[in-house]
Structure 1
Amino acid sequence: MPAQESPPLPAHLQDLTDRARTYVEAASSQNTRRAYAADWKQFCAWCRRSNMEPLPPDPHIVGLYITALASGTATRAKRSSTVATIERRLSAISWNYAQRGLHLDRQDRAIATVLAGIRNTHAAPPRQKEAILPEELVTMLETLNRGTLRGLRDRAMLLLGFAGALRRSEITGLDLGRDQTDDGRGWVESLEKGLLVTLRGKTGWREVEIGRG
């Protein structure tokens, strides 16, 4: 007997469902979802090669996977992953399980203890980048052609980033106005006394004021 199809939702509930889907997508950026999907695909491929199943969540399997990442045996390239990459892939695996209504216990000894050992063994101290000075910025700006749109754009990006102490991802995610694009991470407003940059970060929204001069 063929399975009966579920009756369609009332119009007002369908609208709420569509809105909920939009909010779910807004919880993470498109680039993050793309990276998480690629990480999940690699995890599943490793499970197949190792004769293990990625579902349901098993901390012991995930612990073995991050061990393989650290030792360079997770892929055919035989290349060890950095601690940052391992932590991102662990987040991707947890996120993908959550999208399926499943929970991965990252505090389980099979994961937490192994990850702590990987950090102690492979973690490298952060490299402090040397800040550029104003005169160095001016030299960089002079290499750009003011007579082209590309040159003007690049000058604006450099000056805005320097004056607002912005990260590269924050600069490239900016729109020229609110709601200009669906995946923008912020926008710029031109005011009488300068610029107001609104940014969306991991901890929420923040504003950066940049005066003229």
Structure 2
Amino acid sequence: MPTQFHAPSLVNQILDSFWEFENHQSIYSEISMVYIEVTSREVGLKFICGNVNFSISYFPKDTGTVIKCFSNEKTLENQNFLDIAFQDLKFIFAIQKCPIPNFDLRFEESDSSDFVGNSLNILIANLESTILKTEHFLMDLDNQIDALKILPFIDPGFIEKITFINRIKSDDKKVLKIEKIEKLEQWGRAKSVDVIGFR
């Protein structure tokens, strides 16, 4: 389990503006939604605790990473922004007491398939043996290889719905092959599966 969240002071500052909590970790244990959007320029990690939507962005800057939470920011020198973002994502899942109802993983259409593949490899390297407990997993993609990289990290004991959305928003929609995905336990355990934007 990761030992720290990289932006606790930023998040705590925001939390303090809403509530007076002695233990902020109790907030993290009630996350209902995690939304992560990855581009070659930043990672936007959004999570909802109760009725409050927290948004943290991780930007590359020279050889370091800038972390922004609303108007607050901090800089980590000699740190890769993808590594830092995905370590924090792992931390969020590690302290969650119950399955997170919704986990969305999205990439920018303008980013290359190589960047998406590399980002997923970095995510997996940071997750190590972590199992992501979520009831609904949504991912945008343009091939089944990307789905096969991340689905094994989803706990099959909690998954109820899987949604795949075509990342490439073109009129010339491609066919998504799923013959390997269908063999995964996660796919078989899900009560509902949706494939959107493919023909």
Normalising to structure 2: TM-score of the pair? 0.29
TM-score, normalised on structure 1?
A: 0.28
Higher strand share: 2
Q: Which structure is higher in RCO with an 8 Å CA cutoff and minimum separation 6?
A: 2
Q: Which has the larger radius of gyration?
A: 1
**Larger helix proportion of the pair:** 1
